[in-house]
């Protein structure tokens, strides 16, 4: 069986490396007589590369080659990835993708195309890098009604936050280190502004709750506004700040979906997830909470998930894997401020005592936070858990100038 790889960046080159390194055992597990790379598509030149003879700049070499049964897409972005993936599926080729942007934007359409053409469209590597999560949700946890999924879905921001918190590194230095290690997206704003995590929660929510969730349905905030003051207040409160993507199923079958920096307590299973590691908590009605933990980014961890999908495609040639979700619906994803949550607030005030009294009058048992060397006009507190809309309205009426508001979660 022959394979084409589209995109020879960090992940695509990792896929080739892994296919060659573990060729014997991979072929044995695939049930095929062989699994060979036939073409590698990339717009760049790879003169002198050991795989030079496979390179092409023309997608038609792959599309028109009947010997290619599996196409691996590691290009990133939606175009031309969408065009190439859809043409491959329609030509009867199975596709494996690591491209979360593509799956979050076009997953439903591509899954339908795969169904119509009796081929597979698999994307284990699109969420959590090397962590098995798509297959466990769709297979191992299939007996559960899943009520909630939440996690640290972006290795770059978790790495940056960890370096800032533990090593006192400046944001730019930590970002540079993440890029040097191959964790960050080509455009790091997708990581630090939360878009990468939003794409991943879209894929997870679509899979868990059965209807496509698009990125613009997800309220998204990144980590660029997090300051050392917030980190210190979180520490004194007994927790840490993590970028959390989460989606919950609500009673009326709508869902909520958000990405944002949140306070979580030190005893949370997500609190000790550091560096480039990701962790994804799935709450099922039969299993309870189950947490998947591992390397969420990087060349070989991500290639590990891609190649597992390649093996699965090779095993499911006659009959495709039944896998996917349905179209979205209007008003399927609600405004998260309609839900109940506690909020962390950091603010400045001209009169600390008045602000302190007003906060205590407004909220039932708010928790006033402290940190060493705080400016006299700085005040920080955690509200009780109430409907977020009411909490935000009440905060807006306080005699304070709000500098940060973060949700406080209790996983």
For ligand HSE, the closer of residues 7 and 129 by Cβ is 129
Give the footprint of ligand HSE on residues 102-131 (CB under 6 A).
Answer: 129
Q: At what angle do helices 23-30 and 10-21 cross, to 10 degrees?
A: 80
Tell me the backbone φ, ψ of residue 155, rounded to 5 degrees: -70, -40
Give the footprint of ligand HSE on residues 185-214 (CB under 6 A).
Answer: 185, 191, 196
Number of residues that bind ligand HSE (CB under 6 A): 11
CB of 296 to ligand HSE, least distance (A): 5
Task: Fill in the per-residue mask, 127 to 146: x = in contact with ligand HSE (CB under 6 A), - = not in contact.
Answer: --x-----------------
Give the footprint of ligand HSE on residues 145-164 (CB under 6 A).
Answer: 154-156
Catalytic one among 200, 249, 295, 321?
200
Tell me the C-alpha distance between 137 and 411, whole Å.
Answer: 19
- Tokens 């619906």 locate to 329
Tell me the C-alpha distance between 404 and 297, whole Å.
Answer: 29
Residue 38 known to be catalytic: no
For ligand HSE, the closer of residues 129 and 366 by Cβ is 129
For ligand HSE, the closer of residues 129 and 239 by Cβ is 129
CB of 187 to ligand HSE, least distance (A): 10
Tell me the C-alpha distance between 99 and 102, whole Å.
Answer: 5
Q: Is 15 in the site for ligand HSE (CB under 6 A)?
A: no
Tell me the C-alpha distance between 284 and 149, whole Å.
Answer: 9
CB of 157 to ligand HSE, least distance (A): 7
Determine contact, residues 18/309, Cβ cutoff 8 Å.
no
Q: At what angle do helices 155-166 and 228-237 cross, to 10 degrees?
A: 80
Give the footprint of ligand HSE on residues 32-51 (CB under 6 A).
Answer: none
Among 194, 215, 284, 296, binds ligand HSE (CB under 6 A): 296
Q: Is 184 in the site for ligand HSE (CB under 6 A)?
A: yes
The burial class, CB within 10 Å (0-12 / 13-18 / 19+), for 385 is middle
- Tokens 């609600």 locate to 334
CB of 109 to ligand HSE, least distance (A): 22
CA end-to-end span of the chain, whole Å? 45
Residue whose C-alpha is closest to residue 79's, from 96, 93, 99, 56: 99
For ligand HSE, the closer of residues 36 and 274 by Cβ is 274
Among 174, 198, 213, 297, binds ligand HSE (CB under 6 A): 297
Residue whose C-alpha is closest to residue 71's, from 44, 105, 50, 98: 98
Point out which residues bind ligand HSE (CB under 6 A): 129, 154-156, 183-185, 191, 196, 296-297
Catalytic residue annotation? 200
């Amino acid at each position: 069986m022959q394979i084409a790889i589209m995109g020879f960046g960090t992940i695509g080159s990792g896929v080739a490396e892994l296919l060659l390194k573990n060729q014997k055992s991979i072929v044995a597990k695939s049930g095929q007589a062989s699994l060979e790379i036939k073409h590698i598509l990339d717009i760049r030149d790879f003169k002198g590369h050991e795989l030079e003879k496979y390179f092409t700049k023309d997608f038609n070499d792959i599309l028109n080659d009947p010997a290619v049964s599996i196409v691996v897409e590691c290009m990133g972005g939606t175009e031309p990835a969408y065009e190439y993936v859809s043409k491959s599926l329609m030509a009867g080729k199975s596709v494996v993708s690591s491209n979360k942007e593509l799956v979050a934007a076009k997953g439903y359409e591509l899954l339908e195309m795969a169904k119509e053409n009796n081929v597979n469209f698999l994307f284990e590597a699109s969420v959590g890098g090397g962590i098995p999560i798509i297959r466990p949700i769709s297979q191992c946890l299939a007996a559960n009604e899943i009520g909630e999924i939440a996690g640290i879905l972006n290795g770059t921001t978790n790495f940056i936050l960890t370096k800032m918190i533990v090593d006192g590194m400046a944001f730019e230095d930590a970002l540079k280190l993440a890029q040097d290690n191959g964790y960050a997206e080509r455009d790091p704003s997708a990581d630090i502004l939360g878009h990468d995590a939003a794409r991943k929660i879209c894929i997870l929510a679509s899979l868990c709750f059965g209807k496509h969730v698009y990125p613009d349905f997800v309220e998204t905030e990144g980590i660029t506004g997090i300051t050392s003051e917030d980190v210190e207040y979180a520490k004194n409160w007994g927790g840490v700040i993590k970028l959390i993507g989460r989606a919950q199923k609500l009673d009326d079958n709508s869902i909520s979906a958000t990405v944002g920096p949140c306070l979580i307590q030190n005893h949370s299973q997500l609190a000790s997830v550091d560096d480039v590691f990701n962790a994804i908590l799935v709450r099922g009605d039969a299993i309870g909470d189950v947490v998947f933990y591992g390397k969420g980014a990087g060349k070989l961890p991500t290639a590990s998930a891609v190649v597992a999908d390649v093996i699965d495609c090779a095993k499911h040639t006659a009959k495709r894997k039944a896998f996917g979700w349905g179209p979205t619906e209007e008003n399927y994803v609600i405004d998260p401020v309609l839900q109940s949550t506690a909020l962390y607030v950091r603010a400045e005030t001209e009169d600390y005592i008045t602000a302190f009294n007003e906060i205590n009058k407004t909220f039932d048992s708010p928790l006033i936070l402290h940190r060493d060397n705080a400016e006299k006009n700085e005040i920080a507190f955690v509200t009780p858990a109430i409907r977020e809309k009411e909490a935000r309205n009440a905060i807006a009426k306080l005699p304070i100038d709000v500098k940060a508001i973060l949700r406080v979660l209790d996983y």
